[in-house]
């Protein structure tokens, strides 16, 4: 059902392990929406504008890729997440915020300072080293930052396939991180946030960052030899997906543009620490790992009807 708190599938629609037409259409709608958004964003790049960007600093392909990735990441990390955190701290716009339970205290100042310290160190040091090296792999598979720009058809296909890969890779890597022998050593750090905020999307153990975030995000576009412009577009969409999903705010326009990153869906994962391993419902429904969430939703609906 769609509404102010996301675009979750209804309990009746989500049947464990059953690959019916509605589940397939849901999967297709998700990835098509993401890919179309990338195509629309690609219109921001014309050959003239791209040539102007390339002329700034006269950077070679590698450094253009590295610096561009850093700027996009830093600007969205601060520019998107800071205003939403400020609103949440002031209690503004809470009618667009997913309801919080008693077991979800607002993050402490100490926890947020720890998170920001790790983010600053990562973005100012290791990210530069990683992206400098990763460009060699991009280039090996045919990526370039030169003209001509890719066609709209290429942008759609590459982003669609990247989205499909990301969807599956994130679900299975995230589910694996919840294995009892792994969780306490790696993924427990991310779950220090019971009240999720956009900044906390990247608060994670280095192994988790690589296996469940960076690799799923990059490998799809990398193996296709995607043009640097498409990588920048894909990075913006991917970052907004995870920031919105952790923000607690269901922002109507962004929710539609990003094809429904379900705020309540992932929020439940943080508050109850069970199931809902995927970015959305497809893999969880297929594998039956969102049954607690479905039961929770059904109980909430019954309580609303009773009142």
Q: pLDDT at position 5, please?
A: 33
The residue among 157, 149, 144, 138 whose CA lies nearest residue 34 is 157
**What is the mean predicted confidence (pLDDT) over 189-214?**
93
The residue among 41, 61, 66, 218 whose CA lies nearest residue 146 is 61
Q: pLDDT at position 38, please?
A: 96
Q: Is the pLDDT of residue 259 over 50?
A: no
Q: pLDDT at position 9, please?
A: 46
Q: Which residue has the tokens 């999903």?
A: 245
Residue 27 Cα distances to 31, 110, 118, 181, 193, angstroms: 7, 40, 35, 31, 29
The whole-angstrom separation of Cα 259 and Cα 255 is 6
Q: pLDDT at position 293, please?
A: 87
What's 97's DSSP letter?
A: B
Cα torsion for 282, 287, 292, 293, to the nearest 10°? Answer: 0
Neighbours of 272 (CB within 10 A): 16
Q: Is the pLDDT of residue 8 over 70?
A: no
* pLDDT tier for residue 196 given thresholds of 50, 70 and 90: confident
**What is the mean predicted confidence (pLDDT) over 67-73?**
97
For residue range 25-56, what is the model confidence (pLDDT) as tens digits?
989 988 999 999 999 999 999 999 999 999 99
Q: Is the pLDDT of residue 100 over 80?
A: no
């Amino acid at each position: 059902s769609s509404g102010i708190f996301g675009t979750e599938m209804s309990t009746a629609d989500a049947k464990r392990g059953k690959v019916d037409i509605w589940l397939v259409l849901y999967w297709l709608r998700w990835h098509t929406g993401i890919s179309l958004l990338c195509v629309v964003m690609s219109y921001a790049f014309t050959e003239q504008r791209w040539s102007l960007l390339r002329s700034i600093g006269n950077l070679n392909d590698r450094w253009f890729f590295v610096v561009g990735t850093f700027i996009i990441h830093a600007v969205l990390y601060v520019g998107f997440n800071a205003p939403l955190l400020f609103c949440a701290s002031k209690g503004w716009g809470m009618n667009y915020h997913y309801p919080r339970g008693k077991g979800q205290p607002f993050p402490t100042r100490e926890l947020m300072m720890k998170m920001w310290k790790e983010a600053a160190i990562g973005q100012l040091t290791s990210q530069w080293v990683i992206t400098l090296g990763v460009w060699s792999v991009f280039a090996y598979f045919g990526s370039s930052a030169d003209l001509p720009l890719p066609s709209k058809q290429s942008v759609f296909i590459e982003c669609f396939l990247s989205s499909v890969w990301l969807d599956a890779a994130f679900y299975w890597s995230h589910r694996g991180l919840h294995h009892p022998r792994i969780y306490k050593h790696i993924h427990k750090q991310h779950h220090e946030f019971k009240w999720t905020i956009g900044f906390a999307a990247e608060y994670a153990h280095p192994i988790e960052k690589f296996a469940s975030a960076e690799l799923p995000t990059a490998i799809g576009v990398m193996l296709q030899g995607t043009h640097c412009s498409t990588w920048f577009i894909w990075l913006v969409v991917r970052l907004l997906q995870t920031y919105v999903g952790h923000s607690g705010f269901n922002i109507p326009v962004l929710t539609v543009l990003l094809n429904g990153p379900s705020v309540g869906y992932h929020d439940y994962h943080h508050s109850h620490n069970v199931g809902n391993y995927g970015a959305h419902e497809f893999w969880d429904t297929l594998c039956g790992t969102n049954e607690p969430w479905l039961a929770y939703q059904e109980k909430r609906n019954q309580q609303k009807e009773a009142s």
